[in-house]
Structures are given as C-alpha cells and as structure tokens.
Structure 1
Amino acid sequence: MGPTKRRSAVKLAGLAVAAPAAAARVLEEAAAEAMEFTRQAEATSLGSGTLDHLDLAVTEFNRAYSLKPPQAVFDAVLDYRRKVAALLAGRHTHRQERELLAFAGWLSELLAWLAHDLGDARTGLAFATDSFVHGQQAGHGELCAWAMDAAASINLYEQRPGQAREAALKGLIEAPATHPLTVRLHAQAARAAAADGDADGFTAAFRAAEDAHRLLPPRSPRRFGMDVLPLADYALTSYPATSFIWLGQAEQARRHAEQALATYEAAPAASRSPSREAIARIDLALAHALLGDPDDAIALGHQALGSARVVDSVRHRASDLVSFLNRRYPRQSAVEGLSERLAAARQALPAESPGA
C-alpha cells in the first residue's frame, strides 16, 4: 500500500488518530448502534403466539380434510392463506419469515388437493406450484415434494401423463431418501408411465418404489400429527391396480385392487379414506369387466358411487368404468342404471375426500 493510500485508510478509520476520550465516545456510540442492529433484527409485527396458532390451524385443516365437505374446507384454508400472505408482507424476523413461507406452502398444498377434489385442475395446479415455490423459499425440500405429489395426481386425472411424470421426478429431487413420500413419488412416476402406455417405464419406476419402501426406517415420520406411512403402503397397492388397468393386464389389476381394498378397509376408522376405497372398487370393477364379468363390475361400480365421499376423482374413474362397460357390453341393461347413478353423482354437490 502506498503512502497516499495508507493516509486515506487512517482517515477512514478515524479511531486510530482520535484522542482517547473521542475514541471512547466512538466505542460507546458503536455499542449503542450494535444494540439497535440487534433490536431491528428481532423487530416483528407478529404476535407472540401467531406461529403457534398457524401450526395448530394447519394441523386442524389436515384433519378436517377427511371429515368435512371440500368447499367448506377450501374456503377456510384460502382465508388463512390470505392471512399468511398479509403476515409475510409485514415486519418479521428472518426465522419467522422462513416459518411463514412454510405455512404458506402447506396451506397451498392443501388448497391444491381441495381444488382437485372440487374438479378444478387449473386452480389445483396453480396452488401446487405456489406450494413448491414457497417450499423452495423456505428451504423446505419435503414440502416441495408434497407439492409435486399433488401436481402429479392432478396431471394424471387431466390425462397429461408426461407432466405427471415430470412432477413426480421433480418431487423426488426434493424428497428425503428414506421418507414414505419417496415411495409414493416413485409410484406416481410408475402410474404416469402406465397411463402413457409405457410398460417398461412402469416396471422400472414401480421397482424403484418397492426398493425405496424396503429402505424405510422402523419409525414412521408424521405430518401434522398424522402417520404418513399408509400413503406409501396405499401407493404400492392402489397405484399398480390402476396402472395394470391402463396396461390391459386384468388379472394383475384384479389382484392389486383386491389388496388395495383390503388395506383401506383394515385401516383405523380415524384414517379411513372413502374416496380411495371407492377408486379401488372401480379398479376392481374394471378388472372384472376386462375378465368378462360385467355383473360384478356393475355391482362394484354402484358400491363406489355409494361412497360417503364421491369427489371429482371418483366420478372421473366411474366415468371410465361406465364408458368401458357401454363399449364392451352394449346390451347389458344394468349398465344404464350405473350410468344414471353416475349422472346423479355429477349433479350432486361434491363431498370431501383426501386426494387420490
């Protein structure tokens, strides 16, 4: 450093050439300034219990998801999502911001499934994307993966298997390796491959799901107080049942659909999913129809439409069943009765259900 630069540095430092009293005053002022820096870092407009309240609210919304009609839950969750957006626009600490971002993402993930249940794919995908982005901003990979799980299902029901597979793979990048969600996302990719008529792709992805299931730890993680392991177990039974239907492998579909239905029916009452049970019955009905047994297929179709929670995904799959029965068994008068029941279900207000 040259002489001129050294003199400039001394002038900038100031303290080095100040008298002792002046130096002490500078240090005292710096201490006060440091305290102000700390105060600003901790400054927040959030009440002391706001984050705890949000955690409780998201937990209750997750529980209400399987107990109340989706429109009512959607409205309540959207109201809270707007509240969190307002909180994010206010003053908060960096730690609080990360937590608020995560709560925003969890609420949007729920809204994605609820919109799917209500038959609005566009809104569902918009909230799934919002959930993913907020999860990224919060540094919450698991939340990002849940968001893409929702996007994969919605795209599948919209007959976009390519986008469904992309969403599943995007989620797998974020999901913890030994989490049940990893099993589910591999199974989502397998289901997307089957929907695209790719039998080899289905086999490879489903094998990855089975391998991931074997690596799960003894203790299952929980999501807002609920065990998520059943979601992995269901994916290994119901997803291949649907996939084998799409691949035209009726006997394999029948076996997996029966296993899925038994698994759902054996679940504790608090975690039963009527919509998933209904879809398993429709898969089983389609398998029977493929195997030349329209009577059992029609009976299972009526059972599915008699579910307490006939949401859009159930009506969508029931429509597949009715269309197939009409093509394969055009003279079967009982098919008309099932078709009429489906038409009535379409006109009824949708009931709540977990996403399938």
Structure 2
Amino acid sequence: MRAWFALTTGDYRGILAASQAGTESAPAHGVAVQLAAQEAKGWARLGDRRQTEVALDRGRKLLEGMPYPENLDHHFVVDPAKFDFYAMDCYRLLGEDRFAENLAHEVIRAGTDFDGSERSPMRMAEARITLGVVAARQGDLDQAVNYGEWALKGDRQSLPSLLMVSRELAAIVNRDFANESTGREYLDHLTALSRAS
C-alpha cells in the first residue's frame, strides 16, 4: 500500500523504496509480482526505460512461475491481465505508443464480459486514457478527449489514481490544444474534478 500511496502522491523514489522493501519481505509471494509492477511504474515516471524493463521482466517471470490465481478479485493478486495493465501504464509514460496502445486494447478486451459489461472499470478507464494519450500525441484532439471523457464517466472510480493518469492526457492537451474549445472544456472538467476531490 505504501508503494501505491507514493505513486498517487508523486513520490516516485518512495515507490521504489516501498516496492523494494516489500519484495525483500515477501520475495516468493504473489504480492512480489505487484511490487515489481509498482517499481516499474516508479522507474517509468522517472524516465528510466532500462530499469522499467528490468522490473517488468522480473514481475513477469515471477508471475509465470506461480499458479493461476483462484481469486482474481483479491486486491493483491496479480493475473496476466492485471500485469498487462501495469505494463500499459509504463509504456504510456515512456512514450512507447505502439506498445501502450496494444496493451490498452488488450486490457479493454480482457475486462469486457461476454454481455458487454465491464468487469474491471478502473483498468478500463485507465486503458481509455492511454488510448487518449496516444491519440493526442498523434494530433487527434477529438479522439483524445472522447477517450478521456469516457474514462471519467465510470461508476466505480479511484479518483486519485484516475486523476493522476488523466493529468498525463491533460498535459498534452494543454501543451498542444489549449487554444481549441474542445481542449479547454476537457481541461476545465479535470480542474473541476480535482477541486471536488
């Protein structure tokens, strides 16, 4: 939990310290997979691609050596779909748009039930923001804002996490599209949500 709190408050070195301390305490348990992913997220936010890849690789190897989890709803259980979600976040931050986009589509596919309902609303929301970031980087403001707004409409939200990821899209919109009404409206919506939280 310390790693996640550090992540949502922008304490990236704190993510690394908490993840590494947790891994030392439980190196062969399932939580070590999640800690490796949190560490990768910290390195990605610091812009260190090599260390991000090392942490992701360590987490993937740990995951592959464990039995498939019985209770996917348990917060500290990581299955392959959840690990893809963590990797998506890292690749988006590193500007690896093709990897991030492919993983975002996979997260959405894996999180959609046969009847179209969403099993993992927060993962789906962050995947849509990832697709919005990719669209914004490619110059498609309308698509970027559509994905960004769609992500904010979900019923079940972890607002600190959602706002943190939404700010990445907001930074691109502010930099490249602040003079366009669609861009300003999206930025105003995020500002209102931030104040409400």
| Common fold by TM > 0.5 | yes
Alpha-carbon distance in 2 for matches of 1:238, 1:205 = 14
Aligned to 1:306: 153
**Are 1:159 and 2:10 matched, yes or no?**
yes
Measured against aligned partners, the alpha-carbon deviations of 1:96-141 in whole angstroms (never above 9, x if no partner) come to xxxxxxxxxxxxxxxxxxxxxxxxxxxxxxxxxxxxxxxxxxxxxx
Instruction: Select the residue among 119, 138, 154 that pairs with 1:291.
Output: 138
Is the alpha carbon distance of 1:345 and 1:309 closer, same or farther for their aligned partners in structure 2, counting shifts above 3 Å? farther
Following superposition of structure 1 onto structure 2, how do residues 34-45 of structure 1 map, counting pairs within 5 Å? none
- Does structure 2 retain, via aligned residues, the 8 Å contact 1:184–1:235? no
The one-letter code of the counterpart of 2:177 is Y
Measured against aligned partners, the alpha-carbon deviations of 1:14-62 in whole angstroms (never above 9, x if no partner) come to xxxxxxxxxxxxxxxxxxxxxxxxxxxxxxxxxxxxxxxxxxxxxxxxx
The one-letter code of the counterpart of 2:19 is A
State the SS of the aligned residue for 2:112.
helix
- Alignment root-mean-square deviation, CA: 2.7
The one-letter code of the counterpart of 1:331 is N
Alpha-carbon distance in 2 for matches of 1:282, 1:159 = 18
Alpha-carbon distance in 2 for matches of 1:318, 1:228 = 22
Aligned to 1:322: 170
**Aligned residue pairs: how many?**
196
Q: Deviation at 1:264?
A: 2.2
State the SS of the aligned residue for 1:236.
helix
- Does structure 1 retain, via aligned residues, the 8 Å contact 2:71–2:77? no
- Does structure 1 retain, via aligned residues, the 8 Å contact 2:174–2:187? no
The one-letter code of the counterpart of 2:95 is G
Alpha-carbon distance in 1 for matches of 2:47, 2:59 = 19
State the SS of the aligned residue for 1:272.
coil
**Are 1:332 and 2:180 matched, yes or no?**
yes
- Does structure 1 retain, via aligned residues, the 8 Å contact 2:20–2:39? yes
Is the alpha carbon distance of 1:193 and 1:235 closer, same or farther for their aligned partners in structure 2, counting shifts above 3 Å? farther
Could you tell me which runs of 5 or more consecutive residues in structure 1 were left unpaired when the two chains were aligned.
Answer: 1-149, 351-356
Aligned to 2:110: 263
The one-letter code of the counterpart of 2:154 is S
Aligned to 2:98: 251
**Are 1:280 and 2:130 matched, yes or no?**
no
**Are 1:197 and 2:44 matched, yes or no?**
no
- Does structure 1 retain, via aligned residues, the 8 Å contact 2:8–2:160? no
Q: Deviation at 1:233?
A: 2.8
> Structure 1 vs Structure 2: percent identity of aligned residues?
25
Q: TM-score, normalised by structure 2?
A: 0.85
Measured against aligned partners, the alpha-carbon deviations of 1:77-105 in whole angstroms (never above 9, x if no partner) come to xxxxxxxxxxxxxxxxxxxxxxxxxxxxx
The one-letter code of the counterpart of 2:88 is A
Q: TM-score, normalised by structure 1?
A: 0.50
State the SS of the aligned residue for 2:79.
helix
Following superposition of structure 1 onto structure 2, how do residues 138-217 of structure 1 map, counting pairs within 5 Å? 150-175=1-26, 177=28, 179-217=29-67
Alpha-carbon distance in 2 for matches of 1:332, 1:208 = 43
